[in-house]
């Protein structure tokens, strides 16, 4: 019975990997670079240390100044964040500041609340979102905007950790590359699974057409993933920008506690994904669980069969191959020592982490994300 479950689950996973490999091979059509008006939104909550580098990078963007605005969202900061953003707005006309105070009652997650405030005042045709601890190259805005063909509603970009000397830093960087490859492959194959909210652009008109962000007590995270899926469900096209100049860099979590807090927050949105993604994750979970149970049974001497290793090995090889094909397109290299063990241990990783999608998101920026339902 377990062998049948493993064969079905991992067989479906291998088929999915083949589709993703095809998605990575697809190339964008020839396009004429455009320069639509763009509003860059940056939500900042007590970011006085990270903000200077972020703002300096934004000021250096080579996009036409008359078509660029940077909206800095001071989300009830209690440090010098407000002073910093106001100073930039005073000396550069492209910068605008929106100050938010703490609400008496939350009906939407903190970051979504800040972005909604920015969307209410922005003027650009395209909204491009990044975080206060991110740094972009001077052609970031231009490269992201070049992906907006007339029928494209949203463009996802890659995010990379800046510091990768420590083990935790390297793990964070590796996971970032993995996420970028998965997101790019799914989008290339015609789907929409997830994206990184610190490098995500979309048409303001399309955002309002699909109803914007989810609201209510259940909507505390996943604003980027769920919005991307809403665009796709509404019939819009989405794209992934592979250009290395469109990548942004950020600091990863410095401690294990910060890492797991971020991981839990990201995973907590999984239970509200589109039904077909939840179904696929469920079948893959059963295949991985069956693999681990077969391995444990063999190790304990409960059965002598090693046939389960064939499926495990085939899946691991397929996963590692897909990763390196995508990493190559992203301009990444040197990850073989990480990717091979990670691919082999994926069943254990997936079985342990997937249940976290059922838990509520933890605190964010020192504030609880537990909210009352909207009236």
Cβ neighbours of residue 243 closer than 8 Å, sequence gap 6 or more: 143, 146
**How many Å apart are CA 87 and CA 99, to the nearest integer?**
14
Hey, where are the domains in the chain? 2-22+275-358, 30-268
Q: Could you give the C-alpha distances from 374 to 107, 108, 218, in angstroms and in order?
A: 5, 8, 10
Q: What pLDDT was estimated at residue 264? A: 75
Task: Give the pLDDT score at 364.
Answer: 57
Residue 201 has pLDDT above 50, yes or no: yes
**pLDDT at residue 205 above 60?**
yes
Give one DSSP letter per residue of 211-254, joined into a string: TSS--STT-SS-HHHHHHHHHHHTT-EEEE---GGG-EEEPPPS
* Count of beta carbons in the 10 Å neighbourhood of residue 274: 17
Write down the number of H helices and E strands in the chain. 12, 10
CA 196 to chain centre: 2
Of 73, 233, 75, 56, nearest to 136 by C-alpha is 56
pLDDT tier for residue 129 given thresholds of 50, 70 and 90? very high
User: What digits encode the pLDDT tens for the residues 81-98?
Assistant: 999 999 999 999 999 999
Q: pLDDT averaged over the chain?
A: 88
Q: Average of pLDDT values for 325-343?
A: 92
Four-CA torsion 179, 181, 183, 188, nearest 10 degrees: 180
List CB contacts of 213: < 8 A, sequence separation 6 or more. 108, 112, 115, 116, 219, 223, 226, 227
* Confidence (pLDDT) at 367: 56
pLDDT band per the 50, 70, 90 thresholds, residue 373: very low
Identify the pLDDT of residue 96: 97
SS3 content of the chain, % helix, strand, coil (to 5): 50, 15, 35
Q: How is residue 326 written in tokens?
A: 């995508």
Q: What's the predicted TM-score (pTM) here?
A: 0.91
Q: Is the pLDDT of residue 65 over 50?
A: yes
Confidence of residue 366 (pLDDT cuts 50, 70, 90): low
pLDDT at position 105, please? Answer: 60
pLDDT at position 238 is: 96
30-268 to CATH, choices 3.40.50.1000, 3.30.2290.10, 3.40.50.1700, 3.90.550.10:
3.90.550.10
Higher-confidence residue: 219 or 201? 201
Q: What is the pLDDT of residue 369?
A: 52
Contact 73, 114 (CB under 8 A): yes
């Amino acid at each position: 019975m377990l062998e049948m479950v493993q064969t079905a689950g991992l067989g479906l996973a291998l088929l999915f990997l083949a589709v993703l490999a095809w998605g990575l091979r697809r190339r964008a059509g020839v396009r004429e670079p455009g320069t639509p008006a763009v509003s860059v939104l940056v939500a900042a909550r007590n970011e006085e240390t990270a903000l200077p580098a972020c703002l300096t990078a934004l000021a250096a963007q080579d996009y036409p100044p008359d078509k660029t605005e940077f909206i800095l969202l001071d989300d009830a900061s209690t440090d010098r964040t407000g002073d910093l953003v106001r100073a930039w707005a005073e000396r550069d006309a492209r910068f605008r500041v929106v100050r938010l105070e703490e609400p008496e009652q939350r009906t939407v997650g903190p970051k979504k609340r800040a972005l909604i405030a920015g969307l209410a005042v922005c003027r650009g045709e395209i909204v491009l979102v990044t975080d206060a601890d991110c740094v972009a190259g001077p052609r970031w805005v231009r490269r992201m905007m070049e992906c907006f063909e007339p029928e494209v509603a949203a463009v996802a970009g890659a995010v990379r950790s800046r510091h990768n000397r420590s083990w935790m830093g390297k793990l964070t960087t590796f996971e970032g590359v993995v996420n970028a490859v998965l997101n790019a492959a799914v989008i290339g194959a015609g789907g929409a699974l997830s994206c990184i909210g610190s490098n995500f652009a979309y048409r303001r008109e399309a955002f309002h057409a699909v109803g914007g962000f989810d609201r209510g007590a259940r909507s505390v995270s996943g604003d980027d993933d769920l919005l991307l899926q809403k665009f796709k469900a509404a019939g819009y096209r989405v794209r992934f920008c592979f250009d290395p100049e469109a990548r942004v860099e950020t600091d990863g979590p410095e401690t294990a506690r910060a890492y797991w807090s971020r991981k839990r927050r990201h995973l907590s949105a999984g239970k509200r994904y589109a039904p077909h993604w939840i179904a696929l994750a469920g079948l893959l979970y059963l295949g991985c669980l069956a693999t681990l149970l077969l391995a444990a049974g063999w190790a304990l001497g409960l059965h002598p069969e090693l046939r389960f290793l064939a499926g495990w090995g085939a899946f691991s090889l397929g996963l590692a191959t897909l990763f390196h094909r995508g990493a190559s397109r992203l301009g990444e290299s040197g990850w073989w020592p990480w990717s091979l063990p990670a691919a082999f241990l994926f069943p254990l990783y997936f079985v342990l982490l997937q249940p976290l999608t059922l838990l509520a998101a933890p605190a964010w920026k020192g504030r609880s994300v537990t909210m009352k339902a909207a009236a």
